[in-house]
Each structure stands twice: as C-alpha cells, then as structure tokens.
Amino acid sequence: MENFGIGSWLQRRRPKSGSKAALISGDRETSYGELADRSVRLASALRDRGVTKGARVAYLGDNHPSFLETLFACGQLGAIFVPLNTRLAPPEIQFQLQDCGAETLIHAGSLAGLATAGVAGTGVTWRISVDDSAGAAAAPEAAGGQGTTAAEDFDTVLASGADQYVDVPVELDDGALILYTSGTTGRPKGALLTHGNVTWNCINVIVDFDFSSQDVALMISPMFHVASLDMGVLPTLLKGGAVILESRFDPARILSLIEQYSVTTMSGVPTTYQLICEHPAWATTDLSSLNKLTCGGSAIPMRVLDAYESRGLQIGTGYGMTETAPGATVLPASRSRDKAGSAGLPHFFTDVRIADPIAGIAAPGTVGEIQIKGPNVIREYWRRPDATAESYADGGWFKSGDLAYTDEEGFVFIADRLKDMIISGGENIYPAEVEQAISELDAVGSVAVIGVPDEKWGEVPRAVVLLRDGAQLTEAELRTHLEGRLARYKIPKSVVFVDDMPRTASGKIRKADLRKQSPAQP
C-alpha cells in the first residue's frame, strides 16, 4: 500500500475488524467494513468532481458519520480536510473558505442557511448537503458562491462513486487537515496538520491513556475541535474500538448511553463533567464500565473531582493546542490530587521545555514560555510564512505563547496565558479578534477584552470600553453590532465602561490590572 496516511486506516483495519462496530450515531450503527466502503465510494465521487491530491475540502456540521466519511475520503485522495466550527458567523466562515482555497463544501442540511451565506464570494464551486435528521437534506437553490449551483445530496453523491479503493501515494509529511486558530493579530491562522502529526498524536494518546480495541468512546464534544477528533475519535478507530457520536450535549442522554453501551472512555471540558454529575440520574446510573475520563480546556473544580471520585472515577487532564495536534502534556488521573493544578508531564513522544529568554532553560519553579517539539507539532501555518517563522525558536521548538513552570519532578504548571486567550466552556476566544470588531464602532476610543470567572463556563469574555469624548454607547448597542459578525460565544457577556485605561509606559493597556479590578460580576 502506497498510502501511509490516515486515509489508509480503514483499509488496513477492514480485514482485522470488518464486522465490528466502528460508529454508533443515534440508532444507526456502522461497522468498520461499511465505513470503509462508504469512504471509498465518497473518495471516488469527490475525485469525479475534481478533488485531487492537495485540494481542500471543507466540512460544516456537528458530530455525524459523514464527518468521518469525508475525512477518510480526503485522506484516500491526499486531499486536505478543513473542518469548520458550526458556531462561527458567516463572515468568519467566508474568511476561512477563502483563506484555505476550498472549492468543495460538505455541510449539514440543518445548516443550509449558514452554508449559503458562508460560501458567498468564495471559490466554492461544489456544495454537498448531508441529511443530518435535524433539517432539510438539501440547501436552498442558490448557494451564493461564485459559480456554485444548488447543493447535491450527500448520499446520492456517495452512491455515484465506484466501490474500488484507489491507492494514492500519501506520505506522513503530506498535509491532512487545516484547523483554524486565532492569534494575537485577530485574524485566524490555518494550522496545517500532516498525516504524521495526527498519527503520532494518536500514538501518544494510545500509549499514555492505554487505549484498547475493546474501548467504547463517547464523544460529547464537537469533532471540529482538534481535541475531540485527535484525542478521542481517531485513537479509538486506530485501535479498532467503537465511537459513539453525539451531536448535542444532554446530560440525561449521556448518562443513559454510558449505561446502555458500557462506555469505557469519555472526554470533555470541566463544564460538561460538572453538568453530568449534577444531573438527578447521576446517583443511580451504572458507571462501572468507565475507566478513562479525560478533560481539557481549564482546571477541573475540586468539587467536580470529589463527585467523580465518590463514584470511584478519576479524571485525567492535560495541556495542548491545535498546533500540537493537540496533545503536549498529560496529567494521569492517578495524580489528579497530589499534583492538583498541574498540566502534567510531556506526552510519550513529545518534548516540552520551559524557556527563559535570559537563562535559556528555566530552572524548576521559574516561570518561562512553554516550548514544544515532537512529531505531533505542525511545521507551518497555511500560506503564512511570517507567522510560521515567528512561531519557532532555534532547534525547531514551537513557541506556545503560554507561561508555565515545572516542579522538581518535571510536572508542568501553567502560570499565565501570554496571548491572553480566554477559554470559555472549551471554546478558545482570542481577545484581539473581539477587540477589532468592537473598535469598528465610532464611539469606541479604546477597548480591552478580558476573561472573568464564571461558575458554569469557567470564564467568559468581558469588554472594558473607554468611549471617545462626548460619545455615547450602550451595552445593547455594542452587542447588536457584534451579532452576526462573531460567533455568539465570542460576544462579551458583560461590558464595563471606564473613564481611563491602565497603560504601560509604551501606551499598551495593562490587562493584568483590568483583571484585578474586574469582579466576577460587574
């Protein structure tokens, strides 16, 4: 076989696990053999529509078998899969489609309106609509994209493809996915993950979390986030386990599924774990099958850990980012108490160092920048040589922009976010992007967006606004301006108007001072 990328996984898995369940979605169960067959047909159909090696194919939709069928079909062709966040506003989708140069968009039928608006003015010429049982299978007649026609039906397209696997040469260094991550400039950057990045991350997960072919993984986070896809779904499929796909988070249903399918592993963010253990059915649900619970995004409140430990369960945590595909460090569940607050140790095939700009490698207890190196770390941002060059230190170490220190045993403790990123319910929010949108208002003299504590979401964005002399602006007007420009989770939950901004000698706003001045509620 000439394909060494993820597109070959199903063909390699077929003779070992062909009749075994690979995916469970609603009342639909798909075996490894069926998933392989459908991905082969879809790859053939996409090839008939001009998709070749290196082409970008975007996908807009929640957790659904078609997401993975498209991913593996792209992998077979050597094409690059571009998952889009369904919570984005149309202008954000337009930017990402234009930036990656996708000519094909596969989208959920229930998101036809968003897809139609999102392709307007882009180079998308093919749209394919998936019947996700939450909306119409087909999109409106006109897609709005330049040269596009009405969307084709996904199953019809798939059925039109030949059932013969074509072995396209794909190397581990070839691009597999483009995942967009915002930065301090306010414009998202496309992190280009290679087949090698994804594969090595999966190996790290399998080694450090001891995945097996008997695992049943319940995915309650959207696969368009790299953590869900690369830390849960793909490692499970690589090992031959079963994946349960849920498109919406419902604590009652999650508890029911755990008992029904004897779920062994689950990943989420602190908020999801909290809502599950606070549900009335928590105390009576059989949770004995669970043996691997992982959490990312932010620290887990001790009361949540207590609730799970009272049921004989432990939760492992870690640290990572899109650029590391995404695992960088992992805190074993067995150390969640004695190393509380730690992000853990480096993954098995990943190296992490704390860099001090003066002393080089920071001594234990000394804060420095987290830098990461390994086969799971991206080599570039899509068509952004400037951003790529700025992101690496000598020796190929990726500069995370996050500050941390280590203890004497080498466990990493996050000290601060150098890039001021806000993590709200597992979603990354970069203040510069929000500030840029707010600054479009004539009344705004200056603005700073900071994260403030929130019991449910961990933290939420707050806008601190200094108006121009004589100008007037209400919180409602500011929110109205942002509606449709930004995803809803990025829109500040509170707005504080101030008479002055704390600044450094060079004129930069001192966000650390604003955080100290901002209580949980304005």
In Å, the largest CA–CA distance within the chain is 73
Amino acid letter, residue 75: G
Q: What is the reported pLDDT for 429?
A: 87
Phi, psi of 440 (to 5 degrees): -65, -20
159: domain CATH number is 3.40.50.980
Which of 240, 194, 223, 230 is closest to 328 using CA atoms? 230
Report how far Cα 178 is from the mean position of its chain's Cα atoms: 11
Q: Which residue has the tokens 């079909």?
A: 73
Q: How many CB atoms lie within 10 A of CB 28?
A: 11
Any alpha helices (H) in 439-500, and if so which ranges? 475-482
415 belongs to a structural domain: no
164 belongs to a structural domain: yes
Last residue of a domain, one of 170, 188, 207: 170
89 belongs to a structural domain: yes
The answer to whether 370 touches 405, Cβ cutoff 8 Å, is: no
Question: Which structural domain, as residue segments, surrounds residue 20?
Answer: 6-170
The answer to whether 109 touches 129, Cβ cutoff 8 Å, is: yes
503 belongs to a structural domain: yes
- Considering just the CA atoms, what is the radius of gyration of the chain in Å? 23
Q: How far apart are CA 421 and CA 416, in angstroms?
A: 10
101 belongs to a structural domain: yes
Q: Which residue has the tokens 């072995």?
A: 167
Q: What is the reported pLDDT for 27?
A: 92
140 belongs to a structural domain: yes
- Reported in sequence order, the residue ranges of 85-160 that DSSP labels E, i.e. its strands, are 104-108, 126-130, 152-153
Report how far Cα 151 is from the mean position of its chain's Cα atoms: 26
The pair of three-digit structure tokens given for residue 273, joined into one six-digit string: 């774990």
The answer to whether 192 touches 378, Cβ cutoff 8 Å, is: yes
Strand pairing report for 397-406 and 412-417: antiparallel
Q: What is the reported pLDDT for 138?
A: 38
Strand pairing report for 126-130 and 21-25: unpaired
How many independent structural domains does the chain possess?
2
390 belongs to a structural domain: no
- Enumerate residue ranges in the chain where pLDDT < 70: 134-149, 182-186, 359, 417-419, 504-507, 518-522
Last residue of a domain, one of 151, 170, 189: 170
Q: What is the reported pLDDT for 507?
A: 63
Report how far Cα 444 is from the mean position of its chain's Cα atoms: 32
Q: How many CB atoms lie within 10 A of CB 487?
A: 17
The pair of three-digit structure tokens given for residue 331, joined into one six-digit string: 């805190």
378 belongs to a structural domain: no
Which of 111, 190, 179, 117 is closest to 148 using CA atoms? 117
**What are the C-alpha distances in Å from 95 to residues 9, 57, 63, 140, 345?**
32, 15, 23, 21, 36
**What are the C-alpha distances in Å from 70 to residues 6, 8, 40, 375?**
12, 13, 10, 25
The answer to whether 219 touches 228, Cβ cutoff 8 Å, is: yes
Q: What is the reported pLDDT for 148?
A: 54
483: domain CATH number is 3.30.300.30
Q: Which residue has the tokens 């595909």?
A: 325
Last residue of a domain, one of 121, 136, 170: 170
- Reported in sequence order, the residue ranges of 141-198 that DSSP labels E, i.e. its strands, are 152-153, 175-181, 189-194
Q: How far apart are CA 83 and CA 225, in angstroms?
A: 8
pLDDT digits (tens, 9 = 90+) for 178-215: 999 865 456 799 999 999 999 999 999 999 999 999 99
